[in-house]
């Protein structure tokens, strides 16, 4: 039975790797999800049916396990079917937090087992009976899973509340120091647990749990604006690492492989996004990434802007040689991705070269705009990353910005007092004409005014993105 189960875990691990590989391309991403899900399902069924402990006993409580699987499956399926694309980041944060909570619960349960199974009479050879004498490696993994899983859980819950508009950014003076002190105390207490008698460690264990719980809150609370996608990616990697700790404890290769893949992929994505944002990973870890309490925000009007009619915009784009579309969160809110794709096809039929400029942190989570456009069957080759498209903007006749704000704000390059200063942006101001579609002149997610709106080459096209795009399509067809 054990050899069969190990073979099943091997198959599951292979499906995880194949699924992750398929996720790198929108055309195969759906199939990748399915392959990985089937592998996980196989591993779960195999564990329930074939697993035996050292005493040869099978898993018990099958009714409870099946009830949990059914309830979770129904809730997950219904939530995934009903969620709007605009609320997808919140759902990702919520599900990620649940994974962190599971990892923390595993650590709590296994710590209790470790203490309960300890036999003092076997280690009464004088001096202290160190916990590390029993199983130091397992204890280290338990503590790592507890800390990382708890931080992932509370941090993800705060991220969910902020993305859902239920909580505002908050920071206080000296918060960075407080965060580092809490992290240092947590690590110190963890080290002490290794060198104490088992009966003396329980209080310290729950103190570590409490500190990790609060640290997760303080870690994410001040972060906002365009930096939130990086934090979501980092928290996702935390959950993967915590899950890998569980796989190590249970000697479960499928759980270990899945956790390592998620942790490694999330960490790599976080580093890449930090580089794209011109930020350091250290700032993310100490909770200062994009803190809105830094000041220097300028929310006042900086000049006058000019509006453009649907008719003028349609003529400009129809007779352009090259048009670049910059999708943003406003496009997602309006659910206008299909209308955007229709406009792109219509302009292409007229001989216009149309591409999409994708900023690494456009939207509310990593890859938000890519997923949004893939849903509308936009060809993947038309999506160009910031580094690739920025050199092309001087040759672009017209840029159509749909609900994007902070990722095209020149203040990131010109205003040292701006909270987004130093963040690489899409250089749309270098194009010959810039059309900005927004509902109003309200600042973007970072809460700062965009000086691009007042530039001479910029024209505002107010209205709901979907309605504006539909009107543009109708107008272009009549030209």
pTM of the complete model: 0.78
Please, are residues 234 and 168 in contact by the beta-carbon 8 Å criterion? no
What does DSSP assign to residue 451?
A: G
pLDDT band of 114, cuts 50, 70, 90: confident
Determine the Cα–Cα distance for residues 432 and 466; give it in Å rounded to an integer.
25
Maximum mean pLDDT: which of 58-62, 163-167, 346-350: 346-350
Determine the Cα–Cα distance for residues 268 and 263; give it in Å rounded to an integer.
9
What integer pLDDT is reported at residue 231 of this predicted model?
Answer: 84
What integer pLDDT is reported at residue 121 of this predicted model?
Answer: 52
What integer pLDDT is reported at residue 128 of this predicted model?
Answer: 44
Determine the Cα–Cα distance for residues 13 and 19; give it in Å rounded to an integer.
10
What integer pLDDT is reported at residue 226 of this predicted model?
Answer: 57
pLDDT band of 299, cuts 50, 70, 90: very low
pLDDT at 132 over 70: no
Catalytic residue chosen out of the listed positions 169, 406, 427, 471: 406
Going by their DSSP bridges, the two strands 398-402 and 383-385 should be labelled as unpaired
What percent of the chain stands above pLDDT 70?
87
Q: Which helix (H) or strand (E) holds 79?
A: helix 62-82
What integer pLDDT is reported at residue 89 of this predicted model?
Answer: 82
pLDDT digits (tens, 9 = 90+) for 222-249: 876 556 778 888 899 999 999 999 999 8
- Whole-Å CA distances, 69 to 8, 65, 77, 216: 19, 6, 12, 28
- Find the range with the poorest average confidence among 16-20, 50-54, 336-340, 431-435: 50-54
pLDDT at 129 over 70: no
What integer pLDDT is reported at residue 292 of this predicted model?
Answer: 44
pLDDT band of 117, cuts 50, 70, 90: low
Q: Give the orientation angle of helix 175-193 with respect to helix 202-220, to 10 degrees.
A: 150
| Tokens representing residue 461 in the block | 């096209």
| Tokens representing residue 325 in the block | 């579309």
Give the mean model confidence (pLDDT) for residues 319-327. Answer: 95
Active site annotation includes 406: yes
């Amino acid at each position: 039975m054990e050899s069969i189960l190990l073979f099943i875990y091997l198959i599951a691990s292979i499906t995880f790797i194949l699924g992750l590989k398929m996720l790198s391309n929108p055309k195969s991403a759906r199939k990748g999800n399915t392959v990985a899900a089937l592998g996980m399902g196989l591993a779960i069924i195999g564990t329930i049916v074939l697993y035996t402990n050292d005493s040869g006993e099978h898993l018990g409580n099958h009714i409870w396990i099946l009830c949990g699987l059914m309830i979770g499956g129904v809730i997950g399926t219904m939530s995934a079917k009903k969620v709007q694309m605009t609320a997808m980041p919140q759902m990702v944060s919520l599900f990620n937090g649940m994974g962190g909570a599971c990892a923390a619960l595993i650590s709590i349960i296994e710590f209790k087992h470790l203490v309960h199974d300890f036999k003092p009479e076997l280690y009464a050879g004088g001096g202290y009976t160190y916990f590390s004498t029993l199983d130091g490696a397992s204890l280290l993994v338990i503590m790592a899973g507890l800390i990382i899983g708890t931080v992932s859980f509370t941090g993800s819950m705060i991220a969910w509340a902020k993305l859902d508009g239920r909580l505002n950014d908050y920071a206080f003076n000296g918060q960075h120091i407080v965060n580092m002190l809490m992290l240092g105390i947590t690590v110190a207490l963890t080290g002490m647990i290794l060198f104490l008698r088992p009966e003396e460690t329980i209080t310290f264990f729950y103190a570590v749990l409490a500190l990790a719980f609060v640290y997760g809150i303080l870690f994410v609370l001040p972060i906002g604006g365009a930096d939130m996608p990086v934090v979501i990616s980092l928290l996702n990697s935390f959950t993967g690492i915590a899950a890998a700790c569980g796989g190590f404890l249970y000697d479960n290769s499928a759980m270990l492989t899945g956790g390592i893949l998620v942790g490694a992929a999330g960490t790599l994505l976080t580093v890449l996004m930090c580089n794209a944002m011109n930020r350091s990973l250290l700032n993310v870890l100490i909770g200062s990434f994009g803190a809105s309490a830094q000041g220097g925000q300028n929310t006042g009007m900086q000049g006058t802007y000019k509006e453009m009619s649907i008719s003028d915009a349609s003529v400009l784009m129809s007779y352009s040689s090259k048009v670049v579309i910059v999708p943003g969160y406003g496009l997602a809110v309006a659910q206008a991705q299909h209308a955007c794709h229709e406009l792109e096809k219509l302009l292409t039929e007229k001989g216009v070269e149309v591409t999409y400029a994708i900023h690494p942190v456009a939207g509310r989570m990593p890859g938000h705009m890519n997923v949004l456009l893939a849903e509308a069957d936009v060809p993947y080759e038309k999506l160009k990353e910031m580094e690739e498209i920025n050199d092309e903007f001087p040759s672009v006749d017209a840029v159509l910005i749909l609900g994007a704000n902070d990722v095209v704000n020149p203040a990131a390059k010109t205003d040292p007092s701006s909270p987004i200063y130093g963040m690489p942006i899409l250089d749309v101001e270098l194009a010959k004409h810039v059309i900005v579609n927004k509902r109003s002149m309200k600042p973007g997610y970072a809460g700062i005014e965009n000086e691009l709106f007042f530039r001479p080459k910029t024209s505002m096209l107010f209205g709901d993105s979907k309605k504006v795009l539909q009107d543009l399509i109708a107008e272009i067809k009549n030209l």
